[in-house]
Structure 1
Amino acid sequence: MRLRQDVFVLEQECLYPDLDGRDLEPGTVQWWAEDGVGAVVATLRALDDGEGVVRVGRVATARDARGAGVARQLVLGVLAATRGPVVLDAQSHLEHWYERLGFARDGAEFLDDGIPHVPMRLAR
């Protein structure tokens, strides 16, 4: 949770309710990666969106760990551990990053707390 606050609230200056209650829903799985001393360097959550759909969200990577493939490994871990379609709302500048993992745009761009996002889906 601390990393999410550092990235979304402090770095991206988004004053939105990150703690939306979905972290505690049945079926929610928190994923994270640690560095060699136990500090969390990347995180995401996988939510049960119903009807077999998994929603990936709150993907965050510490500034000094970016570009090392840590978030990619977390997303690939979710894909390996789940079946069925996976959806997410990507910040628009990361659309091509998610495309390289197999996701495709699934709707029009929208603003979330002033940041452009695109809905994406990986059908399997």
Structure 2
Amino acid sequence: MAQPAMMEWRWLPFQDLSAAQLYAAMQLRQRVFVVEQTCVFLDADGIDLESWHGLGYLPGGELGAYARIVPPGKAFRLPSIGRVVTAPELRGKSAGHELMQQAMAQTAKLFPGQDVKIGAQAHLQRFYGRFGFAAVGELYDEDGIAHIHMIAPPALAAK
């Protein structure tokens, strides 16, 4: 297994993000979701305003990973984790695992005892399964990519 990325983590509500932090997060999201995955969609969907934002910084200060935690009732009935992204140069270095461990722990702190729901790219089901997520429902198309809803129970989300 590759060496862990070992990032420094900050979890902030939207109103506490600096302009530079928000810019770096949006730049990373667009770099991967819009440019690399060629998805034309409105990334700034209004949900960011009510979400918690996880920023994973590399030792040199660059943003290497990002995810947002969405409160219940905003995207789904349950709390959710979305916009899960790592910088392309960190792939294969356990950055995604570190990101999800951090996101699951933070979600458990913010919403103890609640299941966590995600809308996952279908090809990442095994990856998310490592964090307790199980597929629910049928595949659906989102921006030209097959997705599936997945839920992790609170006992697993707290790890």
TM-score, structure 2 as length reference:
0.72
The CA distance in 1 between the partners of 2:32 and 2:105, in whole Å, is 26
Unaligned runs of 5+ in 2: 1-25, 155-159
The match for 1:115 among 111, 131, 145 is: 145
Q: RMSD of aligned C-alpha atoms?
A: 1.5
Residue among 73, 84, 88 paired with 1:59: 84
Q: Tell me which residue corresponds to 1:86.
A: 116
Distance 2:32 2:128 in 1: 19
2:61 corresponds to: 38
Corresponding position of 2:52: 29
The alpha-carbon deviation at position 38 of structure 1 amounts to 1.0
Deviation at 1:52, TM superposition (A): 8.0
Q: Distance in 2 between matches of 1:54 and 1:68?
A: 28
- Over 3 Å counting, the alpha-carbon distance change for 1:108 and 1:52 in structure 2 is closer
* Structure with the largest fraction of helix: 2
Q: Which has the larger radius of gyration?
A: 2
Count residues in correspondence.
122
Offset from partner CA, 1:84-110 (integer Å, 9 cap, x none): 111101101101100111100011000
SS of the residue corresponding to residue 107 of structure 1 reads strand
Runs of 4 or more, structure 1, over 4 Å off, are none
Q: What letter is aligned with 1:57? A: G
Distance 2:47 2:116 in 1: 17
Counterpart secondary structure, 1:90: strand
- Alpha-carbon distance change, 113 to 106 in structure 1, aligned in 2, over 3 angstroms: same
The more displaced of 69-78 and 14-23 is: 69-78
